[in-house]
Amino acid sequence: MKALNILLAVLVSAGIALGVAEAGLRALGFAPAEVNTEFDPELGWRKTPGKTIERSTGEYAVTLTNDGAGLRDDYDTLAPAPEGAQRALFLGDSFVVGYTVNREDLFVDQLERALQAEGRPVEIMNAGTQGYSTDQSLRWLELNGEAAAPDLVVYFAYENDIWWNQSPTYMGQDKPLYGSDGVLVERTLAAPAARHWSRASAIGEAYYRLLGAPSMPLVTAGEISISAELSSRLTAPPAAVLEAEARTRALIAAMSARCTALGARFAVCPIPSRTQIAAVEVGEGAPLDPARPHGIFIEAAKSAGAAIIDPRGALEAVTSDAPPYYRRDFHLNAAGNVALAGSLHEALDGAGLLPPRAEGTPRILPTGPAYPGARPPAWLLWYLGLTAALGLLYTRTYPDEGGFVGFGRVSALLAVVFGTALGVTSLVEVLPPQASQVTVLGLVITILTFVLYKLGDRVGTIAELLRSFTLRGHWYLMPLLSVLLTVGSLLVVAASSPLVAPFIYTLF
């Protein structure tokens, strides 16, 4: 019985330690990513019909819902458009599926709303899937084109598609591959290994990301090494990149041919990268040209006889007042989606690829969504809730100070805490990605240094304690000790401040 109790207690203490680590890692952004895709023997992967996931980072929080047809849309099955209506089919990757924006912000839905408001009999089918390169978009069209029966196909290209177009795998996962002649290489795609159970936790995910995840390949040209995804920026690319670019051209040509076979018109919209929009003009002989991938797509579209939609101007126009991209994530934000939708509206209309507006209907430009009333930010609710709870505790613990003073002190302290947290968050968002990482790292180091400074020679005591337990054979208590020492250290640090100590005593 005693052994059972000890076992139980060890398990519980280990559980507590793991729980603390899990919460900490989740706070640091290592929460296991939810997945809304599944293996597809033809496409490599496809969106799982009916699946909904939530994705959030410091920059965005989105809900991704797949419909019954496995699209981020509102279909039950793939079927031709209703009688009298035209169908535009949008193909592409995470930009099209809207991996970082909610649907009301996504350019696909904004454009559809604007067109329908203009009385145009058109609906847009969003067939974008995250991680797809050109070959997968083509394969999707080959497999589902007849069922979808589009009148117009728009392929949204992004620079990283080029590299993967020559690869049989994407980050370790099998995908379709076409030859330089635009013909599918016949082979059986292997289903990925089942996701390891440990990756359901932040601890497992952190381990996977730090040690187990396949790393992005690098391409070297002369003295420059660059991520393979960005390798088409090289002004003197190596043979492998040239091969990828050739295949990309072949794929766009094949896509055009397929559209022709389906009786649909075809357009290509290369989405520029954030670097391309922000970059100063590249000088003669520069080793990297962020606009080069864009040019490859334009050239390929021209060769394939496709209409070309170039949203650069629209995106550059919004750069000065509201950046179209997120600071850290490379995707378009809501403002960028509005600009892209407007650019598409103008280009498609100008190219005559859309049915005309209803008689007497004014031109309606895509705009941002009309939200049903602004909600108070989450931090404000937390602030008020904590002020109420801690204020009550504080005034009950120190009744002599009076309720007003007590609540005042609590709200002031929480204001400092929240202000610091929000300030740091804002700073991180404002700073360039690399600078923000350095800032966060610096902040963590500063906090740890402060804690160590406050602990002083207690650090020696901690080391002595751990050594004592280890030498006495109680190594199995380390998880519990870790938790207790962490809490104890924080208590020591907090209690050393005359401002904070009363709150700590209140809590304990």
Interface pick for other proteins out of 318, 443, 495, 500 (rule CB under 8 A): 495
Whether 412 contacts 503, CB under 8 Å: no
16 vs 298 by CB, closer to other proteins? 16
Segment interacting with other proteins, rule: CB under 8 A, options 2-10, 148-156, 268-276, 432-440 = 2-10
Token pair 């979808």 is found at 148
Least CB distance to other proteins at residue 504 (A): 9
181 vs 464 by CB, closer to other proteins? 464
**How many chain residues bind other proteins (CB under 8 A)?**
30
Least CB distance to other proteins at residue 17 (A): 13
Phi, psi of 150 (to 5 degrees): -80, 150
Interface pick for other proteins out of 77, 303, 420, 468 (rule CB under 8 A): 468
| Residues forming beta bridges with residue 234, ordered by sequence position | 288
12 vs 33 by CB, closer to other proteins? 12
Whether 291 contacts 348, CB under 8 Å: no
Q: What are the strands, taking DSSP E only, across 151-270?
A: 152-157, 169-170, 173-174, 218-221, 224-227, 265-270
Interface pick for other proteins out of 192, 469, 482, 496 (rule CB under 8 A): 469
Least CB distance to other proteins at residue 46 (A): 48
Least CB distance to other proteins at residue 16 (A): 12
Token pair 């995470």 is found at 94
Segment interacting with other proteins, rule: CB under 8 A, options 64-72, 360-368, 417-425, 476-484 = 476-484
9 vs 444 by CB, closer to other proteins? 9
Least CB distance to other proteins at residue 445 (A): 23
Torsion angle, CA of 237/241/246/251, rounded to 10 degrees?
-140
Least CB distance to other proteins at residue 456 (A): 7
Tell which phi-psi region holds residue 131, choosing left (phi > 0), alpha (psi between -120 and 50) or beta. Answer: left
Segment interacting with other proteins, rule: CB under 8 A, options 45-53, 257-265, 432-440, 490-498 = 490-498
Least CB distance to other proteins at residue 204 (A): 27
Alpha helices in 285-365 (DSSP H): 292-304, 312-319, 334-350
Is the four-CA dihedral 22, 28, 33, 34 of positive or negative sign? positive
355: closest CA among 265, 258, 260?
265
Interface pick for other proteins out of 477, 479, 493, 502 (rule CB under 8 A): 477
Whether 125 contacts 91, CB under 8 Å: no
Q: Does 480 bind other proteins (CB under 8 A)?
A: yes
Segment interacting with other proteins, rule: CB under 8 A, options 59-67, 153-161, 435-443, 467-475 = 467-475
Residues 291-320: x where in contact with other proteins by CB under 8 A, - otherwise, as a string? ------------------------------
Helices 403-430 & 433-455, crossing angle to 10 degrees?
140
Least CB distance to other proteins at residue 470 (A): 11
Least CB distance to other proteins at residue 458 (A): 5
Residues of span 427-466 touching other proteins by CB under 8 A: 456-458, 460-461, 464-465
Tell which phi-psi region holds residue 119, choosing left (phi > 0), alpha (psi between -120 and 50) or beta. Answer: left
CA distance 478 to 160: 46
CA distance 171 to 51: 23
Whether 91 contacts 156, CB under 8 Å: yes
Residues of span 5-44 touching other proteins by CB under 8 A: 5-6, 8-10, 12-13
Torsion angle, CA of 271/274/279/284, rounded to 10 degrees?
-50
Amino acid letter, residue 158: Y
Amino acid letter, residue 344: L
Least CB distance to other proteins at residue 506 (A): 13
Residues of span 119-138 touching other proteins by CB under 8 A: none
79 vs 463 by CB, closer to other proteins? 463
Angle at 28 between CA 26 and CA 31, to 5 degrees: 30
CA distance 462 to 177: 57
279 vs 492 by CB, closer to other proteins? 492
Tokens of 496: 């050393």
Binding residues (CB under 8 A) for other proteins: these are: 2, 5-6, 8-10, 12-13, 456-458, 460-461, 464-465, 468-469, 472, 474, 477, 480-481, 484-485, 487-488, 491-492, 495, 508
